[in-house]
């Protein structure tokens, strides 16, 4: 019998998840059906209940339901707890087990696909929202020399750092919060843009001097081409720039492996959905 999976969001037409998981199923010979669910706003629990009643075994969750999924879950991983958000669930009887694979997928793309080590490096994350929160524990596991969370509202970055240090006291001294104005005179080997600026075509207010020329500038948004953030890095002389298409594929592969017990290779998927950075 074909096993049922889906992605839920609103809007959902743009989602590449059915394409990605369809390709994964083909190469791993898994008998699954993967669909898109347009979740009515305010009816997340009702919609997921119906999916489970019809035999659904797992879900990916995208905007705006990651917080609803967090509340719906009966068990959550440490990554999901820190992020306060969930992007994958699987169902086992009455249990709803929840995960957040965004940060794991991001690290996998940077370290494995882009061949950019984070160990011993100075790493900057712009933004302190959900995308940043989900990445912090996987980032710290890579043992960077310094991990800075910079945000327009410094207090938000400081609160996030304090929350992480409560779970990971060994990160004290390696994890810091800064306001954007504090970045003047600082330089980083890897710079991530996890702000919403690129979704609106805006530029985060950071000095071009934050980029190490031989480092990596990474835009978590994908399929946006050369965003203002990536253009700033390119104009600053950064040779290595990337968007979040690899992160998208890698977090999907993590969910697929979690559900099915086999991890698919992502190279063909990344090549299929990549948009040129021009």
Closest CA to 104 of 239, 257, 272, 229: 257
209 CB neighbour count, 10 Å cutoff? 12
| C-alpha to C-alpha distance for 148 and 177, rounded to whole angstroms | 6
Half-sphere exposure of 234 (CA within 13 A, CB side): 13
Closest CA to 248 of 44, 87, 36: 87
Paired residues of 8 in beta bridges: 37, 61
Residue 206 CA to chain centroid, in angstroms?
Answer: 21
Pair type for strands 188-193 and 122-126: parallel
- Do residues 90 and 258 touch, judged by C-beta distance below 8 A? yes
Catalogue the active-site residues: 66
| C-alpha to C-alpha distance for 41 and 254, rounded to whole angstroms | 27
Paired residues of 4 in beta bridges: 33, 56
């Amino acid at each position: 019998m074909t096993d049922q999976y889906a992605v839920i969001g609103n809007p959902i037409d743009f989602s590449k998840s059915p394409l990605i998981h369809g390709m994964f199923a083909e190469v791993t010979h898994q008998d699954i059906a993967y669909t898109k669910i347009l979740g009515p706003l305010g009816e997340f629990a009702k919609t997921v209940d119906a999916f489970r009643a019809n035999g659904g075994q797992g879900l990916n969750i995208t905007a705006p339901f990651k917080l609803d999924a967090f509340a719906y879950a009966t068990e959550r991983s440490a990554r999901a707890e820190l992020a306060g958000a969930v992007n994958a669930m699987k169902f086992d009887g009455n249990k709803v087990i929840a995960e957040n694979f965004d940060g794991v997928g991001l690290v996998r793309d940077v370290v494995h696909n882009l061949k950019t080590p984070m160990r011993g490096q100075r790493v900057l994350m712009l933004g302190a929202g959900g995308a940043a929160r989900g990445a912090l524990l996987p980032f710290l596991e890579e043992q960077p020399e310094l991990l800075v969370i910079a945000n327009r509202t410094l207090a938000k970055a400081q609160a996030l750092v304090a929350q992480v240090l409560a779970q990971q006291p060994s990160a004290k001294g390696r994890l810091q919060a800064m306001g954007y104005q504090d970045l003047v005179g600082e330089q980083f080997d890897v710079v991530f843009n996890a702000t919403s600026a690129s979704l609106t075509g805006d530029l985060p207010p950071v000095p071009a001097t934050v980029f190490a020329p031989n480092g990596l500038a990474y835009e978590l948004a994908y399929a946006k081409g050369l965003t203002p953030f990536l253009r700033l890095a390119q104009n600053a002389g950064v040779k290595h720039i990337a968007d979040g298409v690899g992160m998208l594929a890698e977090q999907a592969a993590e969910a697929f492996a979690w559900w099915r017990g086999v991890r698919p290779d992502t190279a063909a998927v990344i090549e299929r959905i990549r948009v040129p950075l021009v």
